[in-house]
Amino acid sequence: MDAREAVTRMLRDLCALVIPLECACGQEGTLLCPSCRTLLQAGAQEVQSVCDALQIVAAARVRERSGAPPEPVGVDYRSPFPVLALGEYAGALQRLVVQWKNGGALVHTGALAQALAPVVRDIVGSEDPALYRLVPVPSRPGSRIRRGEDHMALLARALSRRTGVEVLTVRGSLSGSQAGKGARQRRRRTFRAAGAAAARDRGRDPARGPAPDHPRVILLDDVVTTGSTLRALHEGSPAGAAAVAAVVVASARWPAPVRL
């Protein structure tokens, strides 16, 4: 064993006293095992179809009847924007997210940002990233105190460094707890976005040029359930800022596979 390897092992053992070297799946000796890392690299899928709060009536279908008023036959729904998730909030991915946001394993932020970066780049496409803004869902004050850090703000900044899309900080909170609420009640929760417009470009580098008057917003969250938080954040955005997509780590529900 050479000196470099000995020092590396010693530092790893010392760090393990503070942060146990154990992956969320239980494998010891690593913070993120190859299997879980591969799980994050599987690509994203659209999940807005299973987000109840994002289903907005788009059109009513009718059947024409000779000599009689048209007969309603159905309603079409659409989401105001696509929602892309890395996977279902279950199994290894659920354990990884819980360890990241509640278990103090903020070291996973880099790996999560690396996994979400291609998704954000695909949304931006060939356009200038300066036209877009990443808007992370803000953590509750109590959650930030308990965790010691705003995990979503950390993820947004790490994602910004990898994509060139700047972060738009929304200062507010969800009004009232959503725990135990149904989809209809969750949709009624409003988002207070006071200060969002002022915080949008605070500290902006002048070399990047003026901020866009109407930025294209990419919402960012850890887990999506009904989509009520994303919808409230979209509806409470500053004037002129429109959400074009939402990017999340995991979805509580997963679309059923399409049968051919």
Rounded to an integer, what distance in angstroms lies between the CA atom of residue 122 and that of residue 126? 9
**Average pLDDT for the chain:** 77
Main-chain dihedrals φ then ψ at residue 181, nearest 5 degrees = -95, 150
| Contact in structure between 200 and 169 (CB atoms under 8 Å) | yes
More confident residue, 146 or 60: 60
pLDDT category at 187 given cuts 50, 70, 90 is very low
Average pLDDT value for residue range 119-133: 95
Is a pLDDT exceeding 90 seen at residue 107?
A: no
pLDDT at 30: 78
Average pLDDT value for residue range 144-156: 77
pLDDT at 194: 33
Is a pLDDT exceeding 50 seen at residue 157?
A: yes
| Contact in structure between 154 and 106 (CB atoms under 8 Å) | yes
| Contact in structure between 84 and 47 (CB atoms under 8 Å) | yes
Percent with pLDDT over 70 in the chain: 69
pLDDT at 260: 58
pLDDT at 142: 58
> Residue 133's closest CA among 197, 207, 190, 83?
197
Is a pLDDT exceeding 70 seen at residue 66?
A: yes
Cut 0.85: pTM above it: no
E strand spans, the chain = 45-46, 56-65, 68-78, 83-88, 132-136, 166-167, 216-224, 242-251
Is a pLDDT exceeding 50 seen at residue 79?
A: yes
To which residue do tokens 């509640």 refer?
102
Rounded to an integer, what distance in angstroms lies between the CA atom of residue 250 and that of residue 40? 10
The residues facing 136 across adjacent strands are 220
| Contact in structure between 248 and 84 (CB atoms under 8 Å) | yes
Is a pLDDT exceeding 90 seen at residue 247?
A: yes
Count Cα atoms within 13 angstroms, Cβ side, for 85: 27
Task: Give pLDDT tens digits for 209-219.
Answer: 555 667 899 99
**Distances in Å between the alpha carbon of 219 and those of 62, 132, 187, 230?**
35, 11, 17, 7
